[in-house]
Amino acid sequence: MGEPGDRPISLTIGTAGHIDHGKTTLVRYMTGTDTDRLEEEHRRGISIVPGYAELELPSGRRASLVDAPGHERFVKNMVAGASGVDAFLLVVAADDGVMPQTREHLGVLRVLGVEQGVVALTKTDAVDEETATLAELDVEEFLESVGLEAPIFRVSGVTGEGVDELLQGLDALAGKVSRQEESALARLPVDRAFVLKGIGVVVTGTLWSGEIHQGDTLYTASGLRPRVRGIQNHGHPSKVAYAGARTALDLTGVEISDIVAGDVLLSQPIPETSSFDARIRLLEDARPLKHSVRVRLHHGTRATNARVRLLGREQINAGESALARLRLEEPLVVLSGDRFVLRSMAPQITIGGGTILDASPTDHKPDPAWLEALEAGDYTKTIPLILARNPRAGMTLRDLSLLLSASVGELPEVGNIPGVIRVADCYALEEEIFSAKEKLTNALRRRTEEHPESPELTVAEARTATGLSSELADALLGEMSGDEIRMTDTGVSLPEAEEVPPELVHEADELLDRLQKAGIEPPNMDPTPALRLLLKRGDAVKLAENLFASQDTAEDVLEKIKNYCRKEGDITLAGFRDLMGTSRKYAQAWLEYSDAAGVTRRTGDVRVLTRRYR
């Protein structure tokens, strides 16, 4: 089966329970790890934050336990592992029964979408049968009141009584709970960053999704690009960090001051957002939540204050849900589908949470129909609307999967959605692609009509003509090449555009003959297609505005300038005029052409040869 650190996590279990109900004792008995002992971290070599332990189930599956030893730490630790938690282990002491923190802990887990689990009725070694039975009935009533079902196991973390049966129950749960197809995006919310002697900068967290390999380059919202030098999963050295595992990364390319708890390490850049649209839900015992109230929002390893703006209502009551926009006082890295926890500002208690639907809203006012389509996972509606947000850019399947919080495999055949078309590896709105093709074709026709001597657009000009982003334009040019356009090393043209019309070649040859006969005093002329063809072929040169000469004449003039300067040291305007027997107008034009050609350079009123021609 390989070393423990090299095997993926089958189940991530979040513990929940009131203070002193025996969670840590039970976890220690099952795993051998004391999640409250910081010394254990140092013994392993790379620190693992207290509250996490690895559990090997009877079948050999690996499970990750997220222990919640304290009240405030519960929210921070549990939200940090939100995306990876698959099931709960609710711990209730037989001598105490269901208590306030029991309710809050399970409420947070439910807000985070965790609704399957088991119950450990602890301290059964310290009570009689009647007391244990009453406590078990109390748990059953509590679970029924919140609409959950879960098997209850009587255990003792001191004697080990019932622990084997509990482990079997967790193993059975691991077999039933199906994890969604893993995201290609690796996302690690950082809960600690520190320097370890002999290793360097180390960060720890629970890997929410994807995989991280040794040597990978990661990204932060601030633009840093640390590289992974070493990995540990639950204290075991590994070459790969798996989703759901407690992970420690040894990083290079960053200083300890660059990364703090609350940052997120990603396998590709994801921008932060200062607002998002979501479905929020209040717990059954929460107070009513009013429109525009400030709350404390927990997401990943970061918390910030936020203002809740309800859609179409002024208040929601306990147990209700509503669509809302949350405006954050500090930006967060979030994706659609992420869960978050809401707590009241005073007193600090958990009141509910929600699911992010639109991680980067663009409209001033949320559209309920759009959010409901996102919530329903109706891709035939949401994908065209997402593409319409930036219609000229197009998106790949991976881009769409990130925005929709769905694996690539969960998406339908996007190219078959009405109004959507595939262009190479990108998807775009059909109307935008048709419009881009029309714009390009029209631009190429104009080019052919106005410049028959050079009917091609450069690739850059063709991209601009489409009106699309560079990436999507290149994909479209590739798709059109052949039947619709012709692409060569020099540019893009219509297939029917001739290289050069024969009549234009004849006209250009006649014009060249005239220029050659005119010599150093050519007539003024407009840049006609025939003249532009001569310039393109290199048979003519431009002296000044509307003044052109043959290439042969230009070479002869430049040679005479070189010889004169080598003999006399420099040449003046009057000297050139006398040398060539021409007027001041032509002397000025030819000397400026010589400067532009790099043969001479002007110094005061004279020209001298450049170093190349001395």
Tokens of 43: 């013994």
d(CA 11, CA 170): 9
With contact defined as beta carbons under 8 Å apart, do 368 and 323 qualify?
yes
Tokens of 79: 């939200």
Angle at 269 between CA 263 and CA 272, to 5 degrees: 55
pLDDT at 50: 45
Q: In whole angstroms, what separates CA 126 from the centre of its chain?
A: 53
In 111-154, DSSP assigns E strands to 117-122, 152-154
For 53, 92, 100, 165, 604, the CA distances from 89, given in Å and listed in that order, are 13, 10, 17, 14, 90
248 contacts: CB under 8 Å, gap ≥ 6? 46, 47, 48, 202, 203, 204, 231, 232, 235
pLDDT at 89: 92
d(CA 139, CA 129): 15
DSSP 534-588: HHHHTSEEEEETTEEEEHHHHHHHHHHHHHHHHHHS-EEHHHHHHHHT--HHHHH
Residue 426: CB atoms within 10 Å: 23
Q: Using alpha carbons, select from 147, 120, 148, 112 the residue that is nearest to residue 136.
A: 120
Query: Three-class SS of residue 393?
Result: coil
With contact defined as beta carbons under 8 Å apart, do 593 and 580 qualify?
no
pLDDT tens string 198-212: 889 999 988 888 899
pLDDT at 101: 81
d(CA 580, CA 449): 40
d(CA 405, CA 253): 30
pLDDT at 75: 60
348 contacts: CB under 8 Å, gap ≥ 6? 72, 296
d(CA 106, CA 18): 10
Query: Three-class SS of residue 610?
Result: coil
Element containing residue 403 per DSSP (H, E): helix 397-404
d(CA 302, CA 332): 8
Count how many residues are written for the chain.
614
d(CA 204, CA 225): 17
Q: Which residue positions in the chain have pLDDT lower than 50?
A: 1-2, 4-5, 37-50, 69-70
Sign of the Cα torsion 43, 48, 49, 54 reads negative
Sign of the Cα torsion 540, 542, 547, 552 reads negative
d(CA 245, CA 247): 6
Q: What phi, psi does 251 have (nearest 5°)? A: -110, 150
d(CA 592, CA 585): 11
d(CA 212, CA 325): 33
247 contacts: CB under 8 Å, gap ≥ 6? 188, 204, 205, 206, 207, 212, 231, 232, 233, 241
pLDDT at 317: 96
Please tell me the number of Cα atoms within 13 Å of 526 on its side-chain side: 2
Query: Three-class SS of residue 263?
Result: coil
Q: What phi, psi does 335 have (nearest 5°)? A: -135, 155
Residue carrying structure tokens 């004449």: 553
Q: β-strand 420-423 against 426-429: which pairing, if any?
A: antiparallel
Q: Using alpha carbons, select from 67, 139, 65 the residue that is nearest to residue 103.
A: 139
- The domains of the chain, with CATH numbers, are 4-176 (3.40.50.300), 187-266 (2.40.30.10), 273-372 (2.40.30.10), 377-499 (no CATH), 516-613 (1.10.10.10)
Tokens of 207: 């890997």
Please tell me the number of Cα atoms within 13 Å of 454 on its side-chain side: 14
Q: What is the chain's alpha carbon radius of gyration, rounded to the nearest angstrom?
A: 37
Q: Using alpha carbons, select from 76, 85, 80, 68 the residue that is nearest to residue 9.
A: 85
With contact defined as beta carbons under 8 Å apart, do 469 and 393 qualify?
yes
pLDDT at 305: 96
Sign of the Cα torsion 118, 119, 123, 128 reads negative
With contact defined as beta carbons under 8 Å apart, do 322 and 339 qualify?
no
For 97, 170, 473, 478, 486, the CA distances from 447, given in Å and listed in that order, are 83, 71, 19, 20, 14
pTM more than 0.85: no
Q: How far apart are the first and last CA of the chain?
A: 78
pLDDT at 41: 37
